[in-house]
């Protein structure tokens, strides 16, 4: 099973990914849409970092056919917002380029083999709505979470400089948020499997109730240990998140209500 988290940048997708990734049957990978473009090297990690080693070892074990796929850049570009009209057209006919299917089927099959049978779910927070539609056509069991955040707070976050992701002007951030919301809304409406809409504000103010509701709506068995940890405000492991918000660079995090 793939749990895909979709939403705007700076809306908390990495945080939600990590929280769900602390479920006993889940593995959080963060944003992996550029995994092949980066040749399996997680950004902002030292070569001796455990997360860097984890992903490099996984990449080393992939088949030569996957790593040397000549369509890697094209597959990545297909997920960009600029390609959304094309992907929407493909979605209407339920058709995906074979190169894209081979690349991501190979990735997820290899990854499930790599992490072993103890985990039945992978949480991908690549957030792009085009990727949500593409993956839902490639795999039978993609469950979708659409995370929303107050526009004012998203705009405020985009104005901050010195972060990994580039800042945006107020006008461009506002336009981005509106357009992204429209694209996510359509992708969500077209999704035919389990899905739910979550507000970031609910996640940070009532994490235990919000996560319990998400799991129920996605048809995932509850994890009492995770829920109790959220109630107590305990530390959550950030795991092996490939890319995403800088909070991933800490070993643990806790949600402060």
Question: Which residue range forms the structural domain that includes residue 248?
Answer: 2-253
Helix H, strand E, coil C: the string for 186-252 is HHHHHCCCCEEEEEHHHHHHCHHHHHHHHHHHHCCCCCHHHHHHHHHCCCEECCCCCECCHHHHCCE
Each residue's pLDDT tens digit in the chain (257 positions)?
A: 999 999 998 899 999 999 999 999 999 999 999 999 999 999 999 999 999 999 999 999 999 999 998 999 999 999 999 999 999 999 999 999 999 999 999 999 999 999 988 899 999 999 999 999 999 999 999 999 999 999 888 888 877 765 556 667 878 888 988 999 999 999 999 999 999 999 999 999 999 999 999 999 999 999 999 999 999 999 999 999 999 888 888 889 998 76
Contact criterion met (CB below 8 Å) for 137 and 95: yes
Contact criterion met (CB below 8 Å) for 150 and 200: yes
Structure tokens of 55? 């992903």
Q: Strands 252-253 and 195-199: what pairing?
A: unpaired
Q: 């996605």: which residue's tokens?
A: 218
Total count of domains within the chain: 1
Residue 161, pLDDT score: 61
**The CATH number of the domain where 13 resides is what?**
3.40.50
C-alpha distances out from residue 155 to 16, 158, 211, 254, Å? 19, 5, 25, 24
Contact criterion met (CB below 8 Å) for 231 and 211: no
DSSP 118-172: T--EEEEEEE-HHHHHHHHHH-S-EEEEEEE--HHHHHHHHT--SSSSPP--HHH
Distance CA 13, CA 7 (A): 7
Contact criterion met (CB below 8 Å) for 106 and 74: no
**DSSP H/E element including 30:** strand 26-30
Residue 166, pLDDT score: 61
Contact criterion met (CB below 8 Å) for 219 and 29: no
Bridge partners of 7, per DSSP, are: 147
């Amino acid at each position: 099973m793939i749990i895909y988290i979709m939403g705007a940048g700076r809306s908390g997708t990495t945080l939600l990914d990590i929280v769900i990734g602390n479920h006993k049957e889940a593995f959080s990978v963060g944003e992996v849409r550029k995994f092949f473009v980066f040749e399996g090297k997680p950004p902002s990690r030292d070569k001796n970092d455990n997360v860097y080693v984890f992903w490099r070892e996984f990449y080393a074990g992939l088949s030569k056919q996957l790593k040397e796929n000549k369509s890697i850049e094209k597959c990545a570009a297909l997920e960009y917002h600029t390609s959304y009209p094309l992907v929407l057209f493909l979605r209407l006919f339920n058709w995906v380029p074979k190169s894209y299917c081979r690349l991501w089927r190979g990735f997820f099959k290899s990854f499930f083999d790599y992490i072993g049978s103890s985990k039945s779910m992978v949480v991908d927070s690549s957030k792009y709505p085009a990727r949500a539609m593409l993956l839902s056509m490639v795999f039978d069991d993609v469950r979708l979470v659409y995370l929303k955040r107050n526009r004012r707070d998203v705009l405020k976050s985009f104005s901050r400089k010195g972060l990994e992701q580039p800042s945006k002007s107020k006008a461009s951030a506002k336009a981005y948020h509106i357009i992204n919301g429209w694209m996510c809304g359509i992708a969500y409406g077209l999704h035919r499997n389990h899905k739910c809409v979550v507000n970031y504000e609910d996640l940070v103010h009532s994490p235990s109730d919000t996560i319990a509701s998400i799991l129920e709506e996605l048809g995932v068995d509850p994890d009492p240990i995770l829920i109790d940890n959220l109630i107590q405000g305990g530390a959550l492991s950030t795991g092996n998140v490939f890319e995403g918000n800088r909070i991933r660079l800490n070993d643990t995090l806790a949600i402060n209500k």
